Amino acid sequence: MKRRGSSGRWLDRQRKDQFVKQAQDGGWRSRAVFKLEEIDKRDQLIRPGQRIVDLGAAPGGWCQYAARKLKGQGTIIGLDLLPIDALDHVELIQGDFLDDEVLAELSDKVQNKPLDLVLSDMAPNFSGIRDADLARSYELAELALDFAVKHLGQGGAFLVKVFQGADFESYRDQLRAAFAKVAIRKPGASRAESRELYLLARDPISDHNEQEQD
């Protein structure tokens, strides 16, 4: 029977996707790991001994990658609304980041100790209504930024997924007001047709008077 509809196109795309095959061959939980890997290799984000929080962590590929880089030295906390299979050296929370109780649980695990890196690959369940979906995605990005600003220590970094649209410049301005350096990253594993970008913000500027962008 001939396959029809978006689900069929998605399956065809998955079968042809080189990063899907590489993830399967390498034992990774998702192709998204190669996005983080490329950014990490370029910007040297992850090192043993760090304290890391991963927001929107399911199915766990970014946590998995970070755990391999930390080599058992450091802390990783992953949070997602969806369940995530257990990972060695990773603490996992299942819950909605928009829920105050879940956020309190995450804050308790952070234990008021400064974080080195906050990752956010969060995205809403898309409705197909573009403006509404973009607005919801930036709501999540703003909440992730609030969390990062509150919990990152000196020299910390924040990597967040955003989508090109009307709110992009405004959100980037928020990052520039909070961090000394802000850069745009479009890793090769991001599909060409996707409007997703990653913004990398480094070094909270509470102790800085000048900012740099690249």
Residue 40 in marked binding region: no
Using CA atoms, how far apart are residues 198 and 186, in angstroms rounded to an integer? 6
CB atoms within 10 A of CB 22: 14
Cα 94 off chain centre by: 16
CB atoms within 10 A of CB 83: 10
* Residue length of the chain: 214
- Pairing status of strand 152-163 against strand 91-94: unpaired
> Of the residues 35, 41, 69, 161, which is catalytic?
161
Could you confirm whether 2 is annotated as catalytic? no
Residue 60 in marked binding region: yes
Residue 207 in marked binding region: no
| Cβ atoms of 70 and 76 closer than 8 Å | yes
- Binding annotation: 60, 62, 80, 96, 121
Which positions are annotated as active-site residues? Answer: 161
- Binding annotation for S-adenosyl-L-methionine: 60, 62, 80, 96, 121
